[in-house]
A and B are shown apart, each in its own frame.
Chain A
Amino acid sequence: MSALLRSVRDGRGFDGVLALLALAYLFVFSAFPLIYNIAMSFQEVDMFSLASLIRPFVGLANYQTLFSNPDFWPIMWNTTVFVALCITFQLAIGFGLALFFQQDFVGASYLRGLFLAAWIIPALVAGAIWKWIFAGDFGVLNYLLISSGLINEKIFWLSTPALSLYSVVLANIWLGIPFNMILLSVGLAGIPKDMYEAAALDGAGAWKRFFYMTLPMMRSTIGAVLSLGIIFTLQQFDLFASLTQGGPANSSNVAQYWSWQLSFQNYDIATGSAVSVLMLGFVIVVAFLYVRSTRQEHQA
């Protein structure tokens, strides 16, 4: 008995208790909701059976309903476009800014701090600001474009089906740039300066230094930023809620917003869960790549 107590106080037992606490936390707040969600996607659920795990099992019926929904493929395509465009531009612009602020010039660090403003603003507030910018009749963007003579007629950024998704993309790129910039700046700061000095002495130009030194040294950072970026982009909900609500006619609807609409506007929780399970599968793949990319970091 006393040996066990001693072990718990100071020894292997203590380590075990610490690990168990972390595991319990993970189980309660991560694993359990995930399992619950997956279970719901195979069951018949309504709001009165929400709290019980035992519900009629319906196999793949929810997924069949989902796949046969005429909105399914367009929304999946929108999600792909949304993620691909957001990630590409956030990463490219964020990387550009990170490199820019890596240069030594007066006020570089203060200016970099200013860029964080977008990161601090809650997405819902950002949504309200962008709604004001994009508004068709009295929007800031249309005012600027018309008064500078670039366009003659108002463009309805949010209510034109061909444009609505791209307007949300634009707002989300703006929202995501600071995050990319900061993480990449950290990565850049970790590359030893003397390497560049040596390369410069050997006659390597700026482009060569970038492609043969910076990029390879940043591989794991870029991997991490990419995977986190994809996960955050798939989480983006507030902008859709405040800008277009997925409309008009689902032209700007994406999986995450649709899943919420199905569950909480149509009370079709089972199909809503099925959408989020599909997203979960995709995120697991991304997370796997993320873990792989950080593992290589340890080897290097």
Chain B
Amino acid sequence: MAKFAKTILLGAAGALAMTAAASAEPVELNVWTIDRQADPGYVYVMADEFQKLHPDIKINIKRVEFADWANDMMRAVATGTTPDIGYVDNPNMQFLSSKGALLDITPYLAESKIVDTSKIYPGPLSTITWDGKIYGLPRGSNTLALYYNADMFKAAGLDPDKPPQTWQELYETAKKLTDPAKNVYGLAFSANGNEEGTFQFLPWAQSAGADYDNIAADGAVKALELWQKIIDEKIASPDTLIRGQYDSMATFNAQNAAMGISGPWELPRMSKDAKFDFRVATLPVWNLGDKPASALGEGNNAIFAKTQHPKEAFMFLEYLYSQMPRVWNEFGFVPSYPVEVKDPKWPAAYAIFVESMQNARARGPSPDWAKISTPISTAIQQALTHKTDAKTALTEAQAKIDAVIKK
């Protein structure tokens, strides 16, 4: 691992040194991130290393709370005070690209010896592309998979080496594992009335052939009806409707849920909190042999159009991109293009997440994603609270989405 990283570092340094020679004056780059400065803090680590390689470039990092990101970013764009480089959550990418807030880096990529965008997995690649041009580079990705408590499987007489492979099996297994007397639910997931709910629902619908632009299709209705059944029969907690993924998975770690659907960001906490044999499996499909689907999370590093130092900014972007082999072990992201990770942490889980990445589909991508996502999460909540049936709720969502994408 160390040797491998070193080779990459040297390679990157060599390539960067050539471009760096051109700019002699000290340059300051303002970078916005959602990382914490305390452990691990992706951009903080990277900026330190990059500044050692390039003493003539100074990087100022500003941390933005993920929840405040849209708010702060909007204000910055409106007042022309955008940073040089910023983290952009992948569903927001096309919104910013289409409005001209981000720098088209296609010309720089043409001359880059480090970045080959053709290698990037289709999911993340679709989020950085707008109108045939590239507006950023993924810093890493994440995706959803099924976590399960192997000890509970054994206790219930189920084979822990055979996690459910179809959604129907998932439902039946969860039902068997549900034990109200012990405060155990079969499944933990999030049907929150915001982006998180949409994020969790789409793989269920997509593996049945539906998608955001075809959300009233039978497959999506079938998926939502199964969610209804899971909530109605209290196989998952009713609080699933108002709880995010991280809070939901805390109940899995506390052994109050036997299975849970979430991403790799859970692993550091889980390996501390979960006092049982937890395992990871790919998300189920409807019928064995179907094409699986998973969601795409995490975001991109993008350069803002107003930057005064596009060349230096791109150098930093290249450096970030070149460090992809480290992101799993150090920061818990799944690499966004195929890399060799020596001695990955949680090797079994890593294998599952890398496999899931092949099928991770971006939300949209669409420049109006926020206006597409809301009708979907609204429909989910309408159906789960039985204000309407699944078909009606999704048909209404489709009408609202059509009004957005067909305008």
Contacts and interface: CB of A to CB of B under 8 A. Distances in A.
A71 B289 CA distance: 41
A48 B385 CA distance: 37
A156 B236 CA distance: 13
Contacts of A104: none
A161 B381 CA distance: 10
Contacts of A156: 237-239
B3 interface: no
Contacts of B183: 137-138
A159 interface: yes
A265 B374 contact: yes
A265 B387 CA distance: 23
Interface stretch (A209-217, A247-255, A273-281): A247-255
Contact of A251 (B70, B78, B79, B385): B385
A159 B241 contact: yes
Given A161-B385, A266-B371, A268-B371, A136 B239 contact: yes
B317 to A, nearest CB: 23
A135 interface: yes
Contact of B381 (A137, A249, A265, A267): A249
A137 B251 contact: yes
A178 to B, nearest CB: 28
A249 B385 contact: yes
B193 A245 contact: yes
A247 B381 contact: yes
Nearest to A162: B385
B242 A244 contact: yes
A281 B335 CA distance: 52
Interface string B61-95: 00000000011001101111000000000000001
Interface string A149-160: 000000010111
B194 A265 contact: yes
Contact of A47 (B78, B239, B251): B78
Interface string B362-385: 000000001100100010011011
B242 A160 contact: no
Interface string B99-140: 111000000000000000000000000000000000000000
Contacts, number: 89
A264 interface: yes
B399 to A, nearest CB: 11
B312 to A, nearest CB: 26
Contact of B382 (A46, A136, A246, A249): A249
Contacts of A50: 74-75, 77-79
Interface string A164-198: 10000000000000000000000000000000000
Contacts of A159: 238-242
A28 interface: no
Contact of A48 (B70, B99, B370): B99
A106 interface: no
A47 B387 contact: no
Contacts of A246: 193
A158 B242 contact: yes
A125 B80 CA distance: 34
A109 B237 CA distance: 45
Nearest to B386: A161
A48 to B, nearest CB: 5
Contacts of B256: 137-138
B370 A135 contact: no
A267 B70 contact: yes
A300 interface: no
Given A135-B239, A248-B242, A251-B385, A264 B78 contact: no
B79 to A, nearest CB: 5
A51 interface: yes
B97 interface: no
Nearest to B76: A47
A39 to B, nearest CB: 15
Contacts of A48: 77-78, 99-101
A51 B78 contact: yes
A247 B381 CA distance: 8
Contacts of A251: 385
A264 B195 CA distance: 13
B195 to A, nearest CB: 8
A46 B70 CA distance: 13
Contacts of B70: 264-265, 267
B192 interface: yes
Contacts of A158: 239, 242
A267 B378 contact: no
Interface string A251-263: 1000000000000
Interface of B: 70-71, 74-75, 77-80, 95, 99-101, 183, 192-195, 237-242, 251, 256, 370-371, 374, 378, 381-382, 384-385, 387
8 contacts: A50-B75, A137-B239, A156-B237, A156-B238, A247-B193, A249-B378, A265-B70, A266-B374
Interface of A: 46-51, 135-138, 156, 158-161, 164, 244-251, 264-268
The 4 A-B residue pairs with the shortest CB-CB distance, nearest first, are: A50-B78, A249-B381, A247-B193, A248-B241
Given A48-B77, A248-B384, 7 more contacts: A50-B78, A247-B192, A247-B241, A247-B242, A249-B378, A266-B371, A267-B74
